[in-house]
A and B are shown apart, each in its own frame.
Chain A
Amino acid sequence: MHKLLQDCPGEKIMLLGNEAIARGAVEAGVAFATTYPGTPSSEISLNLFQMSRETDLYFEYSTNEKVALEVAAAAANSGLRTFCMMKHVGLNVAADPLMTLAYVGVTAGMVILSADDPAMFSSQNEQDNRYYAKFGGLPMLEPSSVAEAKEMIKAAFDLSESLKQPVLLRTTTRINHSSAFVDFGEMAPRKTRGRFVRDPQRCVTVPAVSRGLHVKLLERLKNAAQMSETSLFNMVQGKGPLGIIANGVSFHYAEDAVRDLGLTDRASILRMGFSNPMPEKRIKAFLAGCEKVLVVEEGEPFMEEAVKAFAQEEGITIPIKGKSDDLFSRLFEYDPAMVREKMAAFFHVSYTPKTAVDTADVPEIPMRPPNLCSGCSHRATFYEIKQAAKDMDVICPTDIGCYTLGFLPPLHMGDFVICMGSSVSTACGFGKATDQKVVSFVGDSTFFHSGITGLVNAVFNNHNFTLVILENDTTAMTGHQPHPGVDMELLGLSGHGRVNIEQLVKALGVEHVSIVKPFKVKKSIDTIKEALAFKGVSVIISQEPCALYAKSLKLKTPRPFVVSGKCKDHRDCITAIACPSFYLDENNRVAIDADTCVGCAVCAQICPENAIRPLKE
């Protein structure tokens, strides 16, 4: 049985934040869940996916976040408790349905989780999605700890049902990827079959209907504001004239700082867990009891600006500060020492920080950047493109996935990336705006997510570039989730369709479509050269399963290679493809780590001496 399905209320278990959230959803009786995977949210959906295989919970990996939210919107309007989760930038993709679903509302509890990523551990930006709550007029809850995240999602379902509106649950990486002991709770029964009741005056958003819906949305927001006033998630801790307003993980940093600075008897903290709409009366009452107020929030001054506006209305003129040059930054994440130091400065408390050791005399330590794995097919494809295009002035728009790492030396394949699917559409623009050759890269999952529309545009507007679709049969970066091109039988799942990328691309009207098997180096280079010479839109589909995925499913038997005595130390293998299985032995000679080599044989094909050979048993 899946560990999160255990029916043992009261028992303690160590859970990752994302596991706690998945468990909370199950305890809330969630019946329908959709997602597109994205770090730091991915383990929530992974656990729901696993649990759906053992229960009647419906779960799907949708094509993208917009699709996921729309699929979920229908379920939540058919009376099922529904959960839709994504990373913060995914909510941009889903913003179109979000804004009008806020008008329409739901008939059963619906929670939309946005996993924000301050400091960008694995994201292209660190946008603060609290603004989506304000923008859309949706209630938002924000947990401060792993255990609270589990309880909060349950409350979010109840809140959604009482307001008949989706509720946003916002986490940050330090909630998603922290672990703590959590108490198992009771599991509510799941209602898995619903019924849609026609209600065109609510559900068909023509202008005449939507005008009325916006009025109703504002009424619901008023109700939400009342609930926010009394919500236990907005609580005051401690008593004293030194005021602190904090949310999310910053609350605990502030709590620790108050104790460490000896301010327990002088400071009070207002923790904002129900952060949209904000509890105006509570905040005003809190301000009235304070001499000065420090706002501790990562990201944008979302609470700070609102608090200042409330103070203005009340004629309260105490200092209220958060983001400023000498206090907190809008950049990156906070940490306990930073919060302690800023708090000490703001409240004029003496504080001597622990001094980190002096690193001036520490020798330079070679970097250990993330790298494409041993035997990664992307490396082979990048090398081959580079060879085929070596006399050309090339621009390489790329996309979001493991293959983004191709921009690193020595491959240098990747010149422009802004969001999912942008490789294809920016290739259109670069092709028209310049005389350079454009070769863009997109993974198979990302192509399904949002590359297809760009390719339709390219065919229609007669653009000129080569698109390389890296078909590795999985969504690798986020942990091997399936996508519409995946053979689900390999995962032991029947009843799924499968979209063939080659047929799809041809059906879109792309005239020049070729397939390469990237581990056949010379043949691939020849095929790529032909595609690059084509005037117009050409597509190369590079087919080879992700090495890690193939290993986990035992699709291939690794057959490691070895550097033989014929090696003349040209080091083309290392300098051209930089596979991490290579190392320099004690004699400073190139060698291959047999434990990590999967036997792709790409290095063997580029060695000028044919010195790289299969390891004989």
Chain B
Amino acid sequence: METTRLIIVAVGGQGNLLASKVLGDAALLAGVPVRMSEIHGMAQRGGVVESAIVFGEAESAIISDGEADILLGFEPAETLRAIKRCSKETRVITNTAPVPPFTVAVGMGTYPDVEQMKQLIKAKTAGLVAIDAMALAKEAGSPMSVNIVLVGALIQTGALGFDRKMVEQAIKNRVKPAFQEVNLKAFDLGFTAAANA
């Protein structure tokens, strides 16, 4: 079985751990071995949160620089910051809605231009799918569903080879009934947006 290595980068609070769990459950439904690692603790006080998910035959649960097959970024500048995890064969899916770090407000840095970031990522990797996941999440009914919008976009690209039904089932398993409708809509909007991107 081929090994597929996925890195998810997000800002604390964007729900990347839920996204990882949904993908893990989908892997179980698809009969694909999976291992994941996360960074907790001090790193989560408003900082960058990263998950590594390894599908398939490899035993290691972390992913070295240059070795991600897919990079899923929940925030455009964080996607670019994580570009060292990619090679020219990596496929990248990113949210385009910025969450500027606080350092920008206090004048310790300038937030890069989103278009420029997109061009850079596109030029360096095997392909970029860029969608405004925040707008789609709001359209789905909750800004909290950004994570699932992006999962939808990821699944549409086919990079993981998962059937969308399995992922939708995994969402139903992981999300409380009251939020299922919003999240399934978010998944669909992300899926459709990636198809048209």
Q: Which residues of A contact B (CB under 8 A)?
A: 12, 14, 16, 39-40, 42-43, 121-122, 145-146, 174, 177-181, 249, 252-253, 255-256, 335-338, 353-359, 361-373, 402, 405, 409-410, 477-478, 574-575, 578, 580, 582-584, 590
Contacts and interface: CB of A to CB of B under 8 A. Distances in A.
A571 B161 CA distance: 51
Q: When A and B form their complex, which 5 residue pairs have the shortest distance between CB atoms, in order from nearest?
A: A366-B109, A356-B66, A337-B64, A122-B41, A370-B45
B37 A368 contact: no
Given A145-B59, A179-B37, 7 more contacts: A177-B37, A252-B61, A256-B58, A256-B59, A366-B100, A578-B102, A578-B106
A590 B105 CA distance: 8
- Interface size class on chain B is 35 or more
Contacts of A371: 45-47, 102
A359 B38 contact: no
A337 B66 contact: yes
Interface string B7-43: 0000100000000110011001000011111111111
Nearest to A179: B36
Interface in B114-157: 116-117, 120, 124-125
Contacts, number: 180
B180 interface: no
Interface in B54-85: 58-67, 77-78, 80-81, 83-85
Contacts of A179: 20-21, 24, 35-38
Specify which of B38, B61, B78, B80 lies most central, judged by the most chain A CB atoms within 10 Å of its CB: B61
B108 A180 contact: no
A366 B11 CA distance: 13
A47 to B, nearest CB: 14
A464 to B, nearest CB: 32
Given A12-B28, A256-B60, A356-B87, A370 B43 contact: yes
A180 B36 contact: yes
A355 B28 CA distance: 31
B60 A252 contact: yes
Interface of B: 11, 20-21, 24-25, 28, 33-48, 58-67, 77-78, 80-81, 83-90, 100-106, 108-112, 116-117, 120, 124-125
A370 B40 CA distance: 12
22 contacts: A14-B21, A39-B42, A178-B36, A179-B36, A181-B28, A255-B59, A256-B60, A357-B83, A357-B84, A357-B87, A357-B88, A365-B77, A365-B80, A366-B103, A367-B103, A368-B48, A371-B45, A371-B46, A405-B45, A409-B106, A478-B41, A584-B104
- Which of A42, A179, A367 has the most B CB atoms < 10 Å from its CB? A179
Contact of B40 (A122, A256, A354): A122
Nearest to B25: A14
B58 to A, nearest CB: 5
A174 B87 contact: no
Most buried by B among A174, A178, A373: A178
A359 B64 contact: no
B69 to A, nearest CB: 10
Contacts of A368: 11, 46-48, 78, 101-103
Given A121-B43, A180-B36, A574-B106, A361 B67 contact: no
A274 B44 CA distance: 33
